[in-house]
């Protein structure tokens, strides 16, 4: 069965070479639906990004580490890609976030390097070669995990009788189907829900 993956790129300054690479990204038996968001720190903050329907409905997000243009941006807009990845994981752990940067010192944060366009080799072919070595396998692994979770979700739905009296099946399906909202971050039970999902669903991958 052909799967659909919604891929979105978020940056304060959209990189045309990365835009073209992601727009043309292909994977066998997968329909890639590409979108992008230019994050304007002068008019948007982290909450506006976390409430954006394009973000909440996506499967994979490629986001720049630095989402503000300069040090004088409003404090509420000084929101890094790493912070976004952490917060979104709490909101919906099934959305995969890939952080990219020009800063070579962020490898310990799981951040991938962005193609350097300032070295005089800023052609699309060179950018494609660069991203094929690092970004492509990361996206492909994210797709693999998403498809796995969808299959487990289908099994969970078939076996929902085993969870009688619990909201775990409904909540998990809502997360898989991207039925969620930013206000859930203030729910006292969100941590409990995430723990349950990790224990009862995600760990099944290792069995």
Q: Is 183 exposed, middle or buried (0-12, 13-18, 19+ CB in 10 A)?
A: exposed
126/143 Cα distance (integer angstroms): 24
pLDDT at 189: 47
Question: What SS3 class is residue 90?
Answer: helix
pLDDT at 38: 93
The pTM of this model reads: 0.82
7/61 Cα distance (integer angstroms): 6
What domain count does the chain have? 1
Tens of pLDDT along 6-25? 999 999 899 999 999 999 99
pLDDT at 118: 65
Residues of the chain predicted below pLDDT 50: 70, 72, 76, 189, 201, 204-207
Domain that holds residue 201: 3-206
Average pLDDT over the chain, rounded to an integer: 82
pLDDT at 102: 82
192/124 Cα distance (integer angstroms): 46
pLDDT at 132: 97
* CATH assignment of the domain containing 151: 3.40.50.2300
pLDDT at 186: 54
pLDDT at 66: 83
């Amino acid at each position: 069965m052909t799967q659909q993956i919604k891929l979105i790129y978020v940056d304060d300054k959209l990189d045309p070479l990365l835009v073209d690479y992601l727009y043309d990204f292909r994977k066998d038996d997968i329909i890639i639906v590409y979108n992008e968001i230019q994050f304007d720190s002068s008019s948007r903050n982290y909450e506006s990004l976390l409430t954006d329907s394009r973000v909440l409905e996506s499967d994979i997000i490629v986001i720049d580490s630095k989402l503000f243009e300069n040090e004088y941006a409003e404090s509420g807009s000084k929101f890094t890609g790493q912070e976004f990845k952490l917060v979104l994981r709490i909101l919906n752990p099934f959305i995969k976030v890939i952080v990219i940067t020009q800063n070579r010192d962020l490898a310990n944060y799981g951040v991938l390097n962005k193609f350097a366009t300032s070295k005089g080799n800023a052609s699309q072919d060179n950018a494609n070669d660069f991203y094929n070595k690092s970004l492509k396998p990361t996206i492909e692994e994210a797709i693999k995990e998403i498809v796995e979770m969808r299959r487990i979700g289908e099994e969970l739905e078939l076996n929902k009788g085993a969870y009688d009296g619990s909201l775990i099946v409904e909540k998990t399906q809502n997360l898989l189907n991207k039925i969620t909202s930013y206000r859930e971050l203030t729910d006292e039970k969100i941590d409990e829900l995430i723990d349950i999902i990790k224990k009862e669903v995600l760990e099944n991958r290792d069995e």
